[in-house]
Amino acid sequence: MSAYRHHRGSIFWALTLIGIGALFLYQNFNPDVRPWHVIAKYWPILIIFWGISKLIDYFHVRSHPENAPASLFSAGEVISLIIFLVIGTVISKTVLRPWGDWPSVMGMSDQQFAEIFFNSYTFTRNLSQDVKGSPHILIVNRRGSVDIRGSDKQKIGAVIQETIWAENESAARKIADRLQFQIAENGGQYELSSNRDSLPHGGRAIRLDMAIRAPQSTTADVTDDDGDVSVSNLKGDQTLTTRNGDVRASDVQGVLRVHQSGGGATSASKIDGSVEIEGQGGDIAVQNVTGSVTVEGNFSGSTSFQNVAQTLRFNSSRTNLSTQKLAGNLSMDMSNLTAKNVDGPFELSTRDKDILVENFKYNVKIVNTNGDVHLRTATPPTHPIEVDLQKGDITLSLPPASNFQINAVSHNGDVSCDFPGLNVSKEPPTPAITGTYGKNGPMIKLSSSYGGIRVLRTQPGASSAPHSTAEHRANHRHAHEKIVTFTRPGHSPIV
């Protein structure tokens, strides 16, 4: 009898596996079929069939009294039933009920959540409206990219790609038919809006990618919750906000304002005006700006600036930087900062970075906790230079025709100087370089609590390129044990 009951149970589970496998196989030939949706809706049938199987076994035992009676359910089967009920309930709530907060609970975006359980279907919509003067476009897009480009036509044209996740194409088309768009004008402001929020599940299963052409004199205000935002060839001020996407801007005449609150990257080039970036995000790349550049917030990626005509400011919880007239480039990441061809004042306060400033022409002030500092210029200094370093080496390379006063102190290291006539004391505990070289030169103050100080005299015609970044960091690691920066779980390192 026990062999018979085991055989029946084996048949039941074997048929269950065959049925589920056949369902997923059928999807390969008919993409409109959603196996997870079918399982979520009809999984209780398996419990019914299992119960019928157990009931047949029970009556079979009753009809054969010569066999020892068996319990209707064993302890292992009861546990299996409980696990089966929990899994089936979770699948049903996830697939069949309104989405609500399920994507965030599962650590996924709405789009990632939809891609697991539904097929995607794409539809295209075209909008066009004539405008007058210099229009102000307002766009709020919950999910999808927004691309605005200037044109020579006095109209706003939009091509909207609708991606809808649904059980089948028929269901997706019904949603697409209910989805409506309009460009509403109010006192020179044109708002592109839709009724997506009023659709089932608040339109969570819809992504809208917008390609917009507008007059070059357009001012845009774009907010995007989950998608990239880009603008180009425009002559008005642009305000771009994204919570989970990249921002790109090029060929803009006006003020560019970027608000980041996720981990997206920001890039801006050929901006005839100022650039303002704030919030938190990833990489930043800004180049060819005729105005000022200001970055406020915490950005965990690499940062680069090139050819900034006016003031460049970067303020985070770790680094405060201010400089002017960046004719060259400045790049920064977690452990390095390199600035080349700085024509204006340079001030930096940071920690745990190797720093290289090359070809500077104005005053330099650097405060750093841990890392080497290398300053090199081919132009004789005319303004003060000041470096305050807790741990690391300081190297200052100046041309032979320089005039300066110097006070350099290494509290726990050594000092060396190539310029003759200066007082070089190597006696511990505070080796120092002091004195005046030439006439009427600026003041140079160098201080390192744990590290050496070198003042080098560059030779005419010598290469202005110092050690590579890799060599610079390797030398530093051999000379000093670097302080390790710890990051709290769930928080990205900040530049």
Query: How does pLDDT run across 338-380, given as a tens digit for each residue?
Result: 999 999 999 999 999 999 999 999 999 999 999 999 999 999 9
Task: Judge residue 489's burial from the number of C-beta atoms within 10 Å of its C-beta, 0-12 exposed, 13-18 middle, 19 or more buried.
Answer: exposed
Residue 261: φ, ψ to 5°: -135, 5
Does 339 fall in a domain? no
In the chain, % of residues over pLDDT 90 = 59
Residue 271 belongs to a domain: no
92 and 114 share a domain?
A: no
Look at 394 and 112; give whichever has higher pLDDT: 394
Residue 122 scores a pLDDT above 90 = yes
pLDDT band at 114 (very low <50, low <70, confident <90, very high): low
Give the tokens for residue 444.
């140079």
Between 132 and 6, the more confident residue is: 132
The number of beta carbons lying within 10 Å of the beta carbon of residue 14 is 10
Residue 400 lies in a domain: yes
DSSP-assigned beta bridge partners for residue 334: none
Same structural domain, 134 and 239? yes
Least confident span in 98-102, 333-337, 481-485 = 481-485
- What does pLDDT average to over the chain? 84
Q: Does residue 92 share a domain with residue 122?
A: no
CB-side neighbour CA atoms (13 Å) of 470: 0
Whether 421 shows a pLDDT value over 80: the answer reads: yes
- Domain span at residue 452 reads 365-485
Of residues 110 and 229, which shows the higher confidence score?
Answer: 229
- The percent of residues above 70 in pLDDT, for the chain, comes to 81
On whether both 93 and 148 belong to a single domain, the answer is no
- Which of 110-114, 172-176, 367-371 shows the lowest mean pLDDT across its residues? 110-114
Same-domain check for residues 117 and 231:
yes
Q: Are 369 and 388 in contact (CB under 8 A)?
A: no
Does 229 lie in the same domain as 193?
Answer: yes
Are residues 131 and 228 part of one domain?
yes
Counted residue by residue, the chain has a size of 495
Query: Any bridge partners for residue 184, and if so which?
Result: 191
Residue 247 has pLDDT above 50, yes or no: yes
Quick check: pTM over 0.95?
A: no
- The pLDDT-based confidence of 96 (bands split at 50, 70, 90) is low
**Is residue 129 located within the same domain as residue 225?**
yes
419, 457 contact by CB (below 8 A):
yes
Backbone angles phi, psi at 463, to 5 degrees: -65, 135
Mean pLDDT, rounded, for 5-24: 70
* pLDDT level of residue 39 (50, 70, 90 thresholds): confident
- Once rounded to an integer, what is the mean pLDDT over residues 190-199? 90
* Model confidence at 463: pLDDT above 60: no
pLDDT at 7: 47
Strand partners, 403: none
Residues 116, 48 share a domain = no
- In a 3-state reduction of DSSP, which class is residue 41? helix
Per-residue confidence (pLDDT) for residue 476, from 0 to 100: 44
Query: Cβ–Cβ contacts within 10 Å for residue 410, how many?
Result: 27
pLDDT of the residue at 254: 96
254 in a domain, yes or no? no
pLDDT confidence of 91, banded at 50, 70, 90?
Answer: confident
More confident position, 476 or 312: 312
Does a structural domain hold residue 9? yes
Which helix (H) or strand (E) segment holds residue 322: the answer is strand 320-332
Angle at 347 between CA 346 and CA 352, to 5 degrees: 120
394 against 62, higher pLDDT: 394
pLDDT for 485: 40
Domain boundary among 245, 269, 291: 245
Assess whether 51 and 118 both reside in one domain.
no
Q: Does one domain contain both 119 and 198?
A: yes
Task: Give yes or no for residue 488 having a pLDDT over 50.
Answer: no
Q: What is the pLDDT of residue 470?
A: 39
| Domain final position from 97, 130, 156 | 97
Q: How far apart are CA 412 and CA 390, in angstroms?
A: 10
**Residue linked to tokens 């609590």:** 449
Cα(84)–Cα(86) distance, rounded to whole angstroms?
A: 6
Q: What is the pLDDT of residue 97?
A: 58
In-domain check, residue 73: yes
In a domain, 333, yes or no: no
35-42 and 110-117 are packed helices; what angle lies between their axes, rounded to 10 degrees?
80
Residue 84 lies in a domain: yes
442: preceding bond cis by omega (within 30 degrees): no
Tell me the per-residue pLDDT of 198-235, one tens digit each, with 9 for 90 and over: 887 777 789 999 999 999 999 999 999 999 999 999 99
The total number of structural domains in the chain stands at 3
For residues 138 and 69, membership in a common domain is answered with: no
Residue 367 carries which side chain, given as an amino acid letter?
Answer: V
Residue 484 has pLDDT above 70, yes or no: no
Task: Select, from the ranges 80-84, 144-148, 299-303, 481-485, the one with the highest average predicted confidence (pLDDT).
Answer: 144-148
The confidence band for 14, taking pLDDT boundaries of 50, 70 and 90, is confident
Listed residues 213, 245, 277: the one ending a domain:
245
